[in-house]
Structures are given as structure tokens and as C-alpha cells.
Structure 1
Amino acid sequence: MSTRSRDQQKKQRQKEFMERKAHQESLKAAAKKAKSDSSGKDDEIERNPKIEA
């Protein structure tokens, strides 16, 4: 196997790793946002008992 081929494979693996990492971070951010959004609604209901979900 030539050096050029190994370099290309290494670059491809690094690219895929970075894409997976970015995807995981976006999923974490979305989950965190969803959690904060849902907890905010619960707080609002507690402050204003007349409001129904």
C-alpha cells in the first residue's frame, strides 16, 4: 500500500470522525434545548395554576 493511499484513508477517517462528533454535539444541544423548553412549561404551570397544559 502506498503512502498516498494511507494518507487519503487517514484523512477520510478523520473527516468521518469529525462529522460524527459534530452530529453528536448537535444531538446533545437539541436534547438540552428540549429539556429546558419542557421544564420551562412546567415552571409556568406551577406559577399560574389557572393555565392548563
Structure 2
Amino acid sequence: MLCDTVTFPGGRPDTYLRTMSASPEPGAAVLPVLPDGKLVLVEHFRHATRS
């Protein structure tokens, strides 16, 4: 787990927690679908590496 100091979109400085995998194995994704067929999406900010 790493804690980076970043400037978020909009100019607000803060910290950003990120994890780094200990192995090169592929990850996974989940796309929740509600009973009415709508998709659940979450906005997740990720800063560019080393910038």
C-alpha cells in the first residue's frame, strides 16, 4: 500500500492510497447489474504514475 501526495481534478491537494500487486497476475472486474437492467458505475480517480 502506498500513500501518494496528489492534486485532484479541480486543484484540491490531498493524498491518494493505492496498492501494488506482489505478483504480475491479472486482476478482475465486477459490473453490477440491477434487477431493472441498469448498470452500477463508480467514478474512481487514478493519477498517472509518477506525475
Question: TM-score of the superposition, structure 2-length normalised?
Answer: 0.21
Higher helix residue share: 1
Higher strand share: 2
Q: Which has the higher contact order (CA 8 A, sep 6+)?
A: 2
The structure with the largest alpha-carbon Rg is 1
